[in-house]
Amino acid sequence: MGIRAGKRFAGAALAVATAAGIALGTAGQAAADTGEKDGGLWSGEFGLFYNSGQTGCVFDLRYVDTNFSGDVFKGYLGEACAGKGQTVNDNTASYWNIDTYTWWVYTDANAGGVEGSVPTDYFGNATSNFKNEISSAYWYKAR
């Protein structure tokens, strides 16, 4: 194979590899972030965890949830984790806010009860007022 043919082959191989890489990168991103309440915590979400220390299953929010009744902790892509299938209502031990907004949590549905806030890029264990007491969450101060 001459130099010219070799360069042409290398250029074609590079184009194919680049196209495949873009396709895989796009597919990987789509598969990685499947959306709110999918059991995975992604940028732009607020996560409530079943256990302290941001461990166990997660309940991930992008939008307001006025009443956690009927919501359950999930493992991402169905994986096993502590608390899987347990109700989120009055069952949260820790949180992580990786959204750009401060999230407001309440100990009762519909922004009732005790109010607390979790600022952007903050994670920690729920205090005694909120541990296993959170029942609703908003990305704005609801009252």
CATH number, position 114: 2.60.20.10
CA distance 142 to 129: 18
Residue 82: pLDDT band by 50, 70, 90 thresholds? very high
The domain in which residue 1 lies consists of: 1-32
Q: Who has greater pLDDT, 69 or 26?
A: 69
Whether the per-residue pLDDT at 12 is higher than 60: the answer is no
For residues 35-63, average pLDDT: 96
pLDDT of residue 35: 86
How many domains does the chain fold into?
2
pLDDT at position 71 over 90:
yes
Indicate if 27 and 64 belong to the same structural domain.
Answer: no
Question: Could you tell me if 91 and 133 lie in one domain?
Answer: yes
- Evaluate if residue 3 carries a pLDDT over 50: no
Which pTM value belongs to this model?
0.77
Pairing verdict, β 94-97 and 122-125? antiparallel
Please indicate, yes or no, whether residues 22 and 76 belong to a single structural domain of this protein: no
Residue 41 lies in a domain: no
Same domain, 108 and 84: yes
